[in-house]
Amino acid sequence: GQQVMQIPQYQHVQEGEDFTTYCNSSTTLSNIQWYKQRPGGHPVFLIQLVKSGEVKKQKRLTFQFGEAKKNSSLHITATQTTDVGTYFCAGPGYSGAGSYQLTFGKGTKLSVIP
Amino acid sequence: DAGVIQSPRHEVTEMGQEVTLRCKPISGHDYLFWYRQTMMRGLELLIYFNNNVPIDDSGMPEDRFSAKMPNASFSTLKIQPSEPRDSAVYFCASSPPTGANTEAFFGQGTRLTVV
């Protein structure tokens, strides 16, 4: 079945430093989604990338979708304490009979040291 | 809309007891997903429904787990009998009819502790 792998698993940064998490899929994806989960909270949708090589920005966050549509990255510039949480990528997968499911990576837990 | 609503938010139960988790998806969403989250295994898809019909339950760990969706606005996940290793946060999520091409909206989750 489809696998979505994310690295690193944990990242500790000093406030103001940059942060990047990487996502790789075992299969080509029609799109990739990114979610953020604050400590004690639930995953919240951040963005979806659809096109090969697509780059999208949300303030200090930059999302990229690889040319082969099998990998993606999230880069945060000048981290702030509000960026603390776990960042997940997720890719839709299809199995027989039109079955669809969203497969999540294990996430990258970001800690920001003030 | 109030979003995806799950109940209870917290559940502590003794091993061997039956546990029922409840979910109300967002109105108009016809995909409903049950996920389990643990430190070791991350977010695991247990089962999902499309138009109230279970489509893929390959993620359900054992026969002790069962899920139903009797109508478009309600789903349950039942564990019977519960075991300590079932302790986790269980999330319900729903998506609009476009399915794979749109985001999943998660509920607040139910934190289950089996002692």
> What per-residue confidence (pLDDT) applies to A95?
57
> Which of the residues in chain A have pLDDT under 50?
none
Mark yes or no for CB contact A43/B48 under 8 Å: no
> What per-residue confidence (pLDDT) applies to A93?
74
Asked if A51 reaches chain B (Cβ–Cβ under 8 Å), the answer is no
- Position of tokens 């789903």? B75
B contact test, residue of A4, A31, A42, A46 with most B CBs within 10 A: A42
Helix, strand or coil for residue A112? strand
Average pLDDT, chain A: 92
Mark yes or no for CB contact B108/A42 under 8 Å: yes
Q: What is the mean pLDDT of residues B93-115?
A: 88
Spatial distance between the Cα atoms of A76 and A64, rounded to a whole number of angstroms = 12
User: Strands B88-95, B31-38: parallel, antiparallel or unpaired by DSSP?
Assistant: antiparallel
Mark yes or no for CB contact A107/B104 under 8 Å: no
The region that residue A57 occupies, defined by phi over 0 for left and psi between -120 and 50 for alpha, beta otherwise, is beta
Spatial distance between the Cα atoms of B22 and B46, rounded to a whole number of angstroms = 14
Contacts of B58 (CB under 8 A, 6+ apart): none
